[in-house]
Amino acid sequence: MNPLIDSTLMDSPFGQSLRQGEPLLWLNTHYQAEESQYPCELTRDDIEQADRRLRHFAPLLQQLFPELASQQGLIESPLLSALHLQQQHYPNLSGKLILKADHALPVAGSVKARGGIHEVLCHAEQLALENGVIDSLEDDPLTLLSPACKALFGRHEIAVSSTGNLGLSIGIMSAALSFKSVVHMSVEAKQWKKQRLRDRGVTVIEHSNDYSAAVEAGRDASNADPSSYFVDDENSPRLFLGYAVAALRLQQQLAEQNILVDAEHPLFVYIPCGVGGAPGGINFGLKQVFGPHVHCFFAEPVEAPCVLVGMQSKDLRNPASVYQVGLKVDTEADGLAVSMASGWVCSVIDTLLSGVFTVTDDELFRALYQLKQSEGIEIEPSAAAGFAGPNWLTETAQGKTYQQQQQLTSVMANAAHLVWTTGGLFVPPEEMQRFQQRGAQLANR
Ligand X SMILES: *Cc1c(COP(=O)(O)O)cnc(C)c1O
Phi, psi of 183 (to 5 degrees): -120, 120
User: In sequence order, what are the beta bridge partners of 98?
Assistant: 81, 418
Interface residue with ligand X, options 21, 277, 285, 389 (CB under 6 A): 277
Interface residue with ligand X, options 42, 79, 182, 278 (CB under 6 A): 278
- The answer to whether 120 and 173 are in contact (CB under 8 A) is yes
Phi, psi of 25 (to 5 degrees): -115, 125
Residue range at the interface with ligand X (CB under 6 A); choices 6-14, 83-91, 212-220, 380-388: 380-388
User: d(Cα 161, Cα 184) in Å, to the nearest integer?
Assistant: 4
Choose between 24 and 278: whose C-beta lies nearer to ligand X: 278
Interface residue with ligand X, options 422, 425, 427, 435 (CB under 6 A): 422
Per-residue interface string for the shown chain with ligand X, residues 154-193, x marking contact by CB under 6 A:
-----------x----------------------------
Report the nearest approach of ligand X to the CB of residue 341 (Å): 8
Measured at CB, which residue is nearest to ligand X?
Answer: 274
Residue range at the interface with ligand X (CB under 6 A); choices 3-11, 173-181, 286-294, 377-385: 377-385
Choose between 160 and 273: whose C-beta lies nearer to ligand X: 273
Interface residue with ligand X, options 320, 322, 364, 383 (CB under 6 A): 383
Q: Does 390 bind ligand X (CB under 6 A)?
A: no
One-letter amino acid at 130 equals E
User: d(Cα 176, Cα 379) in Å, to the nearest integer?
Assistant: 25
Choose between 24 and 231: whose C-beta lies nearer to ligand X: 231
Report the nearest approach of ligand X to the CB of residue 111 (Å): 5
Choose between 174 and 422: whose C-beta lies nearer to ligand X: 422
Choose between 321 and 394: whose C-beta lies nearer to ligand X: 321
User: d(Cα 358, Cα 338) in Å, to the nearest integer?
Assistant: 14
Q: Does 111 bind ligand X (CB under 6 A)?
A: yes
Q: Does 305 bind ligand X (CB under 6 A)?
A: no
Number of residues that bind ligand X (CB under 6 A): 19
Q: Does 212 bind ligand X (CB under 6 A)?
A: no
User: d(Cα 364, Cα 226) in Å, to the nearest integer?
Assistant: 42
Choose between 288 and 382: whose C-beta lies nearer to ligand X: 382
Report the nearest approach of ligand X to the CB of residue 272 (Å): 4
Question: Among 195, 190, 150, 192, which Cα is nearest to 174's?
Answer: 150
Interface residue with ligand X, options 275, 364, 371, 412 (CB under 6 A): 275
Residue range at the interface with ligand X (CB under 6 A); choices 12-20, 144-152, 260-268, 378-386: 378-386
Residues 315-344 within binding reach of ligand X (CB under 6 A): 335-336
Report the nearest approach of ligand X to the CB of residue 391 (Å): 20
Q: Does 272 bind ligand X (CB under 6 A)?
A: yes
Choose between 128 and 329: whose C-beta lies nearer to ligand X: 329
User: d(Cα 114, Cα 96) in Å, to the nearest integer?
Assistant: 26
Residue range at the interface with ligand X (CB under 6 A); choices 18-26, 217-225, 271-279, 282-290: 271-279
Choose between 272 and 389: whose C-beta lies nearer to ligand X: 272
**Sites of contact with ligand X (CB under 6 A):** 110-112, 165, 272-279, 335-336, 380, 382-383, 422-423
